[in-house]
Structure 1
Amino acid sequence: METTVGTAGLPAVLDLPAGPVRGGLVVLHGSHAEQHSYFLYAHLARLLPPAGIAVLRYDRRPRIDGHDVPLADQAEDASAALTELRRHVGAVPVGLWGFSQGAWAAALTAVRHPVDFLVLVGCSAVSPAVQ
């Protein structure tokens, strides 16, 4: 189902299970994997709904003048995505799945907008400045 995320109206797709929803997941982007159609995100949307897990994928906010999207803005968008997901799935466990830079955004989001779980893929153990 097509939807949007946040005040920026970022294009999004919510893939829901055919049966009861057991949980939900918001997908957060790597720095160069910005579209909700990216193969890795689409794979999650095919794999998880049959197991009862809803998957919300959205397009990352565009870069401005070639500068990366600030992590605070990414966390704001992720919080909006969580709100949108919860609107459709109700009181089931929901979490964030962050890929590469999305893992930093997931951790920052979880501090501001509590979630039930985090899945961090390709996560650096140091800050962006150190990396």
Structure 2
Amino acid sequence: MLPEIALVRAAVRRLWDRKFYAYTYQQVTDPETHITETKLQAIPGGPWPCRISRERAYPATEQPAAPSNVQQEIKLICSEGLAIPAGASIKVWKKTEDESQALRFKSAGVPFKYDYHQEIELQQEEVHP
């Protein structure tokens, strides 16, 4: 690896201020009853360091006159070596794994992989009490 590539990769990763887990639905068989159920399971290896990028996007045909017109584009920026499938559930937190502080998203599409990182578009996952 060339030294400048390592320097760029290290500089990008210094910006990662959060951690995340990724979850997918998998078939799980109960060893006693032999009943197979679909359950949300964590992808092995987490938590991984990451960064959240938020951009406000306004509809092209309307002026930003009211807050209801504002939409956010949220991206998860993480290591290029991770395999996060489209539709995976993502839980992100800043300093501690406190459930009350965790942000919940679902990956909205296929990751965009670059030389030093990947970007995954996210959608807010609605959690009803």
TM over 0.5: no
| Structure with a larger share of its residues in helix | 1
Greater relative contact order (Cα < 8 A, sep 6+): 1
| Structure with a larger share of its residues in strand | 2
Structure 1 length-normalised TM = 0.27
